[in-house]
Amino acid sequence: MALLEVRQLSVRFGGLLAIESLSLEVKEGEVLSLIGPNGAGKTTAFNAITGYLAPVSGEIFFNGEKISGRKVNDISARGLVRTFQKTSVFPNRSALENILIGLHLSSRQSPFAIMLGLPSVAHDERALRGEAERILGFINLSNKKDEPASALPYGEQRLLEVAIALAAKPKLLLLDEPVSGMNPSETASFMAKLAEIRALGITILLVEHDMKMVMGVSDRVVCLSQGRIIANGTPAEIQRDPEVIRAYLGERHRRAIG
């Protein structure tokens, strides 16, 4: 069964119909990449799927349940979590606190228990702290746990972003250009990290421009252009697809490949 099902999705953004009648599926356990030239509608699709934008028409199903029209935090609670194109952390909080916030859904403290200072709260806090440190270790930032997030170098902030999303215990993780701005060695280590995330059983939907990364990690690739899907297949198939080459890589390249 498909974990995520998008049916005939149309989304308006900035006065235009940014996505038109888009249908796609993400199967459980796979890594699907969404590619396409700038303005093709990739981030808009992300925003619509995760509830930041309301679709004009169409439906979205996650794990068999309809999520289109629901609030963002409701969708996240069901296991669909995203990262953002522009670096998004809690700047004045330490790295550890950032992840603690990410663990929001895992915590069961009621306001009354908190205000009364019940021992269950302290117990929960200890457990959360342990979990946060474990996640911080997973992305190799344990030594930075008390650093304010804004003080971290760019590459580490992007890793922290992914860690925050992981803390929310996603079944499906939507990564929006996770390696943009990273140098080749940072990108390579991120690709390895992605494999580890996948090994945890998390399904991944990826938007990326870095073709090496896309071809290296994906099971399937979907290409968007001007709000519509123009190709859908394995990385090898996509690389050879003339439509993709024309829309994305440019006329010159197509002629060069022959």
28 touching another protein, by CB under 8 A: no
Taking the complex as a whole, the smallest distance from the CB of residue 94 to another protein amounts, in Å, to 12
89 touching another protein, by CB under 8 A: yes
Q: Which of 10, 21, 85, 88 binds another protein (CB under 8 A)?
A: 88
In the numeric block, the tokens 């929001």 are attached to 104
b (16+ CB within 10 A) / e for 222-253: bbbbbbebbbeeebeebbebeebbebbeeeee
Alpha-carbon gap, residue 231 to 228, rounded angstroms: 9
248 touching another protein, by CB under 8 A: no
User: 76: Cβ–Cβ under 8 A, 6 or more apart, which residues?
Assistant: 50, 105, 168
Taking the complex as a whole, the smallest distance from the CB of residue 188 to another protein amounts, in Å, to 27
Alpha-carbon gap, residue 77 to 196, rounded angstroms: 23
- Regarding beta strands 203-207 and 31-35, do their DSSP bridges make them parallel or antiparallel, or are they unpaired? parallel
Q: Which of 72, 195, 236, 257 binds another protein (CB under 8 A)?
A: 72
Taking the complex as a whole, the smallest distance from the CB of residue 61 to another protein amounts, in Å, to 20
Backbone angles phi, psi at 45, to 5 degrees: -60, -45
**Which CB, 71 or 240, lies closer to another protein?**
71
Site residues (CB under 8 A) for another protein? 50, 52, 71-73, 76-77, 81-82, 84, 88-93, 97, 100-102, 104-105, 107, 109, 111, 114-115, 117, 121, 124-125, 128, 164-165, 167-168
